[in-house]
Structure 1
C-alpha cells in the first residue's frame, strides 16, 4: 500500500494508509464503540487486522462512514443499512433498486399530500349547508365502508378512536352515517393514506368542524415542506454515495459492457 504522510486526513497515521479505531471515530464524530458497531452491522467494510490483532482502517472506511452519516437523515437507518450492506456484498443492482424504492416511496407520499391538500382546499371552500334545506342520505356501516373503499372493521376502529361518531337507528341501533359523518370519513381516509396518525387527523377534523380549515391546511403544508427537506437531504447524500461507489466499487459497475 502506498506510503503517505503521518498527518494525512488531519490525524496521525502509521507509515501506511491505516487508521486506528479511535482515529476513525474522531474523524467520523462518533464513539469507538459505534465504529465497531458500524463494522459489525456491515455499514463499513471489515477491517484488516495487524499481527497483534488491532483493527486497521483505511480511507475507504472513512468515506464509507461519511456516506452512511450523510444518508441516515434522508433515508433512515433501515433504508441506509439495506443500501450499504448490499453495496458491501457487491450487489450493486440491489443497492440501486433499494434507493429507487425509497425515492418512489417519497414520490408517493408527495402525491398523497398534494391530493390531501387539494381535498382540504375543496372542503374549506364548500359553504355549510343550511339546516332543513335538504334530507341527506344515511348509510349503514357496510355501505359507508364501500363508499370509501375500506373494511367495516376500519370504521369501527376509527369510531373507537373518536374520529367518527355515527348516529344510531332508533329501533335497531344500527350505525348510520349521515352527510356530516361521510364527510369526516372521507377526510379520515385521505389523511390515513397520507401517513397521519389518529391524533393529527382528529385535530384536523376538529379544526374543520370549528370552521377553521386554515389550521388543517397549514398542518398538511408543513408536512409537505418537511418532505421537500427530506428529498433534498437524499439528493445531497447521493453525492457522498456516488463518490464512495466511484472510488471503491466502480469495478462492479458495468455500462454497456464497459467498466465505469
Structure 2
C-alpha cells in the first residue's frame, strides 16, 4: 500500500497532484483508513504510471479522456482517442513533408514581377497563380492571405506573393484552407522559405519525439490494461475495488 507522497515521488509530482488526479477520475478512488487517510495500491500505481506516460505523448486532455474511459470500463472509447491522436500525428508529418517540398520550390522560383512600390494587384497575382481573384478573396477570408489596401484595392507584397504561392501548392495537394492557414502561419513565423527550410529538421525531430512518447504512453497503458485483465470480451474494470476499508496508517491524506 502507498501514501499519496509515495506515488508522487515516483514521477516527481507533489502529493497534492496525486490527490487532484484522483479527484479528476484519471486514477481509481483511494481507500481510506479509519482516520480518513488515503491509501493507494498497485492498481493506483499502475494507473498513475499510464496516465503520466500518456500525458507526455498525447497531452493532458487526451490522456484524461483515455484514463476516464478505461476506469469506467469503456475501452473502445479510450482506443478511439488514441487512434485519433495518431491520425493527427500522421497529418502533421505529411504537412511537414509538403512544406519541405514547397520551400524548395519557392526558394528556386523566380520572383514576382513587382508593381508600384514592390506591390502587385489582385489581378496580377491571380494571373501569376492561374486562379481567379475570387479564389484569392476566399483565401483571405480563411486567414491564408492578409493583403494591405491601397485606395480600397487589395495590394500584395512580395511576402504575400510567397504565401499565395505556397498556399497554391498545398491546395493542389488536397489541403483544406484551415490547414493551409496554419502552415502559412508557420512560414511567417520562420521568416520565409529559407529559414523555414532550416527549421524543418527540427519539426521532424519534434514529430519523431512525440511519436516515441505516444508509443511509450500506449505501452504503459497496455501494462495497466493487462493488470486489470482488460482486453478480453466481457471483461470489466474493477473500479472501486481498492476503495475498501483498510487498517489505519500514519500518512498524509
TM-score past 0.5 threshold: yes
What stretches of structure 1 move > 6 A for 4+ residues in a row? 129-132
Tell me what 1:40 maps to.
Answer: 23
Tell me what 1:11 maps to.
Answer: none
Counterpart CA distance in 2 for 1:131 and 1:234 is 47
Does the residue aligned with 2:26 lie in a helix, a strand or coil? coil
For these two proteins, the number of residue pairs brought into alignment is 219
TM-score, reference length from structure 2: 0.72
Tell me what 2:85 maps to.
Answer: 102
Alignment of 1:17-28 (within 5 A): 18-28=1-11
Contact 1:21 1:32 in 2 (8 A): yes
Alignment of 1:76-225 (within 5 A): 76-128=59-111, 137-138=123-124, 143-144=132-133, 146-147=135-136, 150-152=139-141, 154=143, 158-159=145-146, 164-165=147-148, 168=150, 173-177=152-156, 181-187=160-166, 193=179, 195=182, 198=185, 200-204=186-190, 206-208=191-193, 213=194, 215-225=195-205
Tell me which of the two structures has the higher relative contact order, counting C-alpha pairs closer than 8 angstroms and 6 or more residues apart: 2
Unaligned stretches of 5+ residues in structure 1: 1-17
Tell me what 2:207 maps to.
Answer: 227
Aligned-pair CA distance for 1:202: 2.4
User: Does the C-alpha gap of structure 1 residues 129 and 27 become closer, same or farther in structure 2, counting only changes over 3 Å?
Assistant: closer
Aligned-pair CA distance for 1:240: 0.8
Counterpart CA distance in 1 for 2:133 and 2:61 is 37
Does the residue aligned with 1:53 lie in a helix, a strand or coil? coil
Counterpart CA distance in 2 for 1:207 and 1:178 is 13
Unaligned stretches of 5+ residues in structure 2: 171-176, 237-253
Structure 1 vs Structure 2 CA RMSD: 3.4
TM-score, reference length from structure 1: 0.70
Say which is worse superposed, 188-197 or 225-234, in terms of deviation.
188-197
